[in-house]
Amino acid sequence: MIDSCVVIGAGIAGVNAAEALREKGFEGTVTMIGAEHHQPYDRPPLSKKFLLDNGTPPDFPLRPQTFYDDCRIDLRLGAESTKLDVSSGAVVLDDGTHVHADKVVLATGGRPRRLGLPGCELVGVHSLRTVDDAAAIRGHLDRGSAVAVIGGGFIGTEVAAAAAAVGCPVTLIETERLPMQRALGTEVASLLSRAHRQRGVILRTGVGVDRLTGRGSVTGVELTDGSHIPAELVVVGVGMVPNVELAAAAGLVVSEGVRTDQYGRTSHPAIFAAGDVAEQAGIGRLEHWQQARDGGGRVAHAILGQPSPETPMPWFWSDQFDLNIQLAGTPSPSDSKCWRGDPDALKFSVLYHQGRHVTGIIAVNRGKDVRPAIELIKLGSVVDSDLLDDPATPVRAILKATRGSVAGST
């Protein structure tokens, strides 16, 4: 008999876990513990909408306060979970409070990876994970500060785009040859890099950072080639470290994240994990908003012993300037691919396939192709190669033909 469940973490994974518990009929106590003092909010707008129009957390809450009241979720904000006491079945908070828990959901997320270089402690050096981080960065953008962004992943390129869009001089520093190259491949990354340059972002690629300069406040970034980038704001976006400390101290199996099965069960039968902190069997640790959202619901089903929904298709999006970038599935650089649309106009999609099976899609300002591509991946069916390799054939038409072929063969 499960009488109580404690969710540690008030992000999308934690909120969805609590909501799914109630939706599936759980009548025991549900306590959600969040380290921030803010009402649980959506994180993706922090590097997009928030920086562009100075939004505030109430503009993008995950749920209104009435949701927590109606669902009888005891929301404890500004509280740090310091220990999982597995022997007594309790979560210990930083004020010494013990919260009883028959089941625990670890949705502790992660924290920005630090550079560990001289000067990182200077005023004006920031990472971006919380709304307070975003507010500090936005303050610099309002003043028109010279900006250096270290790291050319999605967070870094989104911050660079926002800073350039509001008129700040921006330099983006990336050790790889192109920003976003690991995720999007050389060809798509080249097109997007050109778009950044055309919109005012200075790209310094293939070079590392030696140190940050300044006395008290940051004044610039010194690169490994000896050059110096002036900057009053430095934003570091070089990845995330999962918050596994609670799990490790409790004796759970931890590797790149907290190890779980496909349903979110950890190595302890009473503890589950979801979101950025979870390393799921067969998938690994994915830092995707959708993965975190669906993972929260999946662990709720597992806690209640109910059939789990299907594992979601990996899907990610990014908004930069006037560009909407979407990636779905698991495309590989070795896959065959067919381009649709107009790459020069930055309105295109790239459909990836192995043989005649669709594996993934990258779309820029062509979101209409993403949903049918996801359905093709889910079907796993053999696709007509003439349609697949014809740039003039809409992805919707390929899906329709493939569904018809499947139906005709049954």
In this prediction, residue 228 carries a pLDDT of 98
Confidence at 119, pLDDT banded by 50, 70, 90: very high
Spatial separation of the C-alpha atoms in residues 221 and 244, rounded to whole Å: 31
Instruction: Evaluate whether 33 touches 91 at the Cβ level (below 8 Å).
Output: yes
CATH of segment(s) 322-408: 3.30.390.30
In this prediction, residue 216 carries a pLDDT of 96
Q: In CATH, which superfamily holds the domain spanning 125-236?
A: FAD/NAD(P)-binding domain (3.50.50.60)
Domain ranges of the chain: 4-111+240-303, 125-236, 322-408
Q: What's the CATH class of domain 4-111+240-303? A: alpha beta
Of 1, 19, 2, the closest CA to residue 10 belongs to 19
Question: What's the token pair of residue 200?
Answer: 């005012």
Question: Same CATH topology for 4-111+240-303 and 125-236?
Answer: yes
Of 122, 321, 117, 130, the closest CA to residue 233 belongs to 122
Question: What's the token pair of residue 173?
Answer: 């520093």
Classify residue 404 as left (phi > 0), alpha (psi -120 to 50) or beta: alpha
Average pLDDT over residues 54-60: 68
Residue with the larger pLDDT of the pair 123 and 86: 123
Q: What is the pLDDT of residues 349-392, one digit of tens each?
A: 999 999 899 999 999 999 999 999 999 999 988 999 899 999 99
In this prediction, residue 314 carries a pLDDT of 86
